[in-house]
Each structure stands twice: as structure tokens, then as C-alpha cells.
A = this chain, B = another copy of it.
Amino acid sequence: MLSPELSARLGELTDLGAAGALLGWDQQTQMPPAGGEARGEVMATIASLGHERLTAPELGTLLDAAEPEDEQDAAIVRVVRRDHEKASRVPAELAREMELASARAHEPWARARATDDFGLFRPFLEKNLELRRRYVDCFEGAEHPYDTLMDNFEPGLTTARVREVFDRLREGLVPLAAEIAAAEPAPVLPGPFPIAGQQALGRDIARSFGFDESAWRIDLAVHPFASSLNPQDVRVTARYTEENLQGIFAVMHEVGHGLYEHQIDPGLARTTLQTGVSLGIHESQSRLWENLVGRSEPFWRHWGPRLRETFGAGIGDCSDAELLRAINTVEPGLIRVDADEVTYSLHVILRFRLEVAMIEGSLAVADLPEAWNAGMQELLGVEVPDDTRGCLQDIHWSFGELGYFPTYAIGNIVAAQLWEALSAAVPDLDDQVAAGEYGTIRDWLREHVHRYGRTVEPTELLERATGQALDPEPLLAQLRVKYGGLYGLAATPGARS
């Protein structure tokens, strides 16, 4: 048992986090537009109270005096101490400056994007970058300055390791995408797909995954996201367009995030460890449900009839095989969030390269558009027509969030590793998916991933769940098998003429 004083402080930090989560969720789903002006300040106040409480010397003293009696309490003390020490290294002045700069950059970024004028955003990105450099300077001993930034999103991951992993990923993905491009293209489902039908189908799929109204909500948002106030108050969002079925996959994705939060050990309640351990592990959960379950052949064996029933004409005269190919269309494109399972990680690799170069100082912000466009040509073979669809497309740099992007590709890799382990543990996995039964998957993920919250570090978690370290091979192998089958590719890359 932790002391009541320490528990009370952790409870307070948790409550501030929940209040901040609600303010953010409301901002994107409920708030009347004119309420936006004041909202930023309310969120900043709650965040800075959280920072104040996290860096309080009294918290350090209580952690030092703690005598944890079991593994869970020991983990709590260890993780909170790390959070406390990290936050305490950053002067309040710099923390505030970073917060302000990221708030101030949002509007110029949005305007730059709307008018395709990178120059409008450039000074704000330069400021964010300068502040991130000063932030990095608060920490010593990192092998690479970018390690310090990544540590906030993926504890334990190094720039050197990401480079290796991403190099291997690129070597596998670029030729695979090229082979698919040379194969017969997937059919395009003609649509339209009425939104009411998508909402009903999305909700029913979400329910089959584990969503239930007693502890979850689903709302509309311009940019879908998942947020949880606690494991019993999970909020996912969706966005639908009549033109395609992306919204349904986005729901599966967000429910995957939600299930992670929902299944964390209730014993971690009112501690800051009752949340996902890293963004990469989190993304592995969303990708697992979206791609490995939701874009699989057995999944559509079950849901295909419902899809045809709902959208009849929108599905055209597709056979089941064509439908599956349509759902798994691969096409190198300009926009990360629209990218398919094969090309997605290439978008991430580009951003990782550019961020590292900017932090190292080898790439000036002024040269970013050119470097972006060259990278898109090299990795995806596409010509970038403007910065709006180029280096201005993502919101992350307006927040100054460097080190975040790699976690998206890490998520794809980890999802494949977990799926491999899950498949080994559950021999009839495909049959269960084909029967619309996901309870075994959910339970396995709870047991091996979710329940731990932040008590087990990401590398250790992966090791325990799969027996392996981070490894891109399962992802590459799975993609090759899946797309090999769908597009009739040769078993060995390059062997097909």
C-alpha cells in the first residue's frame, strides 16, 4: 500500500488529467464555436496546475519515503518518479514558453495550409524547433538529441534503433508497393455510401469489438480520435463521408485505442499509470483492430453480407474477392492519414528523417518543403503539387511535437508482432474472426498488453507478450503474404516479372 499522502497526490494528478481530457474532447465534439477563445486558456491552466503538482518537491519526498510492498506499487513509484524528475528538469519558464508557442503556432499553421503559403508558418516552426532544442538541453546523457524527444512518446526507444528498423521497413515496403502497382488494380467501389448506414454499421462493429454504451461514447469529430477520462469513460469519435468507407475503418481504429484504456487494471485507478504505456503500443492496438482484424478476409466473410445489405448499389457487382481487394487498395498518395497499410509507414519514415535532420541542424526550416518533396519522390514516387498537400498537411509540427511521428510506424510493427503471437496462441483465430467473435482477441490483449497500463515498459511488454524485441519482419512477412494473395504477387520479391 502506498501512503495516503502519496495516493492523494497521484489522485489529484489523475483528476487533473481527466479534466484536461474532457476539455479536449468537448472542444472537438461539443463546444459551440465561439467558446473556443476561452477554451485554450482553461486547458493551459489545467495543464500548468498538473505541471505544478507533478514537479512539487513534496511529491519527490513522498516518493523517496515510499516502501512499496508489491510489484505494482514499485512500478507506480518508479514511473511517477521518472515523470517527476523529467518534469522537474524543465524550468517552469521554458515549459510555459513551449505551451504558448505551440498554442500560437496553430492559427498561422492553419492559415498557411489553407493558403498554401509555407512562409506564414515558417517562423513559428522555427520557434518551436528552438524551444525543443532548449528542452533537449535540459537532459544530459542521451546518445542523440532526438532520443530525448522520442522518450516522451516511446520511452526506451533510440534514434539509432529507429533508423535500423525503418531502413529495413523501407527495403521491404518500397518494392512491395511497386509490385502491387504493377499488378491488376483493385476495383473502386462506386458508392455513394449513405452516412446513416455507415454509422449503424460502424456502431455494430464497434459493439462486437467491445464498445458498450454503459462505459463508452461515440461522437462525430472533424479529426477522429479516442480519449478516455478513465477506463469506464471511454470516448471515441468518427467521421464519415459518402464517398468511401474510410469512416468505418476509422471507428475500428479508435475503438482499438479505446479498448486498451478500457481494459487497464482497475487496481491502477487514480494513479497516472492507468493509461497506455506509449504511443507506439497504443497505435499497435488501433492498427491491430483496424487492419489485422478489420481488413482481413475472415472479417469480411462475416460482415460482407451486412455491408451488401446496407449499401447494395454502392458495392456494385463486386465478388467477395473483389470487395476484399477494394478494401485493401494500395496506392502511393500524398496524404498520410489517407494512406493504406503498405505505404503508410513510408510517410512516417519521411517525417522521421526530416525531424532528425532539423534537430541535428542539418536541415533548415526554410529548406523543409524542398526536402519533403524530394523524400516523397524517393519513398513513394509521387510528385507533391503544393505544400498544403506536402509539409503543411499534419498538425503535429504546429504543436512542436517532434518525436511523435515514429510511433505510428512502430504501432504497425508491434501490431504485426502481437498478431503473430496471438495466432500461435489461438489456432482457430481466423474461424473466430469469421464467426464475428472477438472475445478471445480482446481477452488475450487484456492479459498480455492492456491490463499493465504503464507499469511495464514498452520494450519489456513486447518481450513478455511476443518473446521478441521490436522487429519489422513479422509486419513485412504478413504484408507479403496478404498482398501476395490479393494481388497475385510472386512469393519472393522481385521473382515476378
A interface residues (Cβ-Cβ under 8 A, vs B): 11-12, 15-16, 18-19, 22-23, 26, 30-35, 37-39, 41-42, 44-46, 49, 213-217, 229-230, 232-234, 269-270
Give the complex CA separation of A119 and B34 in angstroms.
Answer: 48
Contact between A34 and B270, CB atoms less than 8 A apart: no
Contact between B22 and A269, CB atoms less than 8 A apart: no
Question: In terms of DSSP, what is the predominant structure of the interface of chain A?
Answer: helix
Give the complex CA separation of A12 and B46 in angstroms.
Answer: 9
Give the complex CA separation of A269 and B41 in angstroms.
Answer: 11
Task: Give every chain B residue within 8 A of A214 (Cβ-Cβ).
Answer: 32-34
Q: Give the shortest distance, in Å, between A9 (CB) and chain B (any CB).
A: 11
* CB nearest neighbor in B for A269: B38
Contact between A18 and B32, CB atoms less than 8 A apart: no
Q: How many copies does the complex hold?
A: 2
Contact between B15 and A45, CB atoms less than 8 A apart: yes
Taking A16-B45, A32-B216 as known contacts, 12 extra A-B pairs with beta carbons closer than 8 A to each other, sorted by chain A number, are A19-B42, A30-B217, A31-B233, A32-B217, A32-B232, A34-B215, A34-B233, A35-B229, A35-B232, A38-B229, A38-B269, A41-B270
Give the complex CA separation of A269 and B37 in angstroms.
Answer: 11
A to B CB contacts below 8 Å, 29 in the list: A11-B41, A11-B45, A12-B45, A15-B42, A15-B44, A18-B38, A18-B42, A19-B19, A19-B45, A19-B46, A30-B30, A31-B233, A32-B215, A32-B234, A33-B214, A34-B214, A34-B232, A34-B233, A35-B229, A35-B230, A35-B232, A35-B233, A37-B232, A38-B232, A38-B269, A38-B270, A39-B229, A39-B233, A49-B49
Contact between A23 and B32, CB atoms less than 8 A apart: no
Contacts A37-B232, A232-B38 given; does A213 touch B32 at CB 8 Å: yes
Give the complex CA separation of A26 and B38 in angstroms.
Answer: 18
Contact between A42 and B229, CB atoms less than 8 A apart: yes
Give the complex CA separation of A212 and B18 in angstroms.
Answer: 29
Give the complex CA separation of A229 and B22 in angstroms.
Answer: 13
* CB nearest neighbor in B for A232: B34
Give the complex CA separation of A454 and B2 in angstroms.
Answer: 44
Task: Give every chain B residue within 8 A of A39 (Cβ-Cβ).
Answer: 229, 233
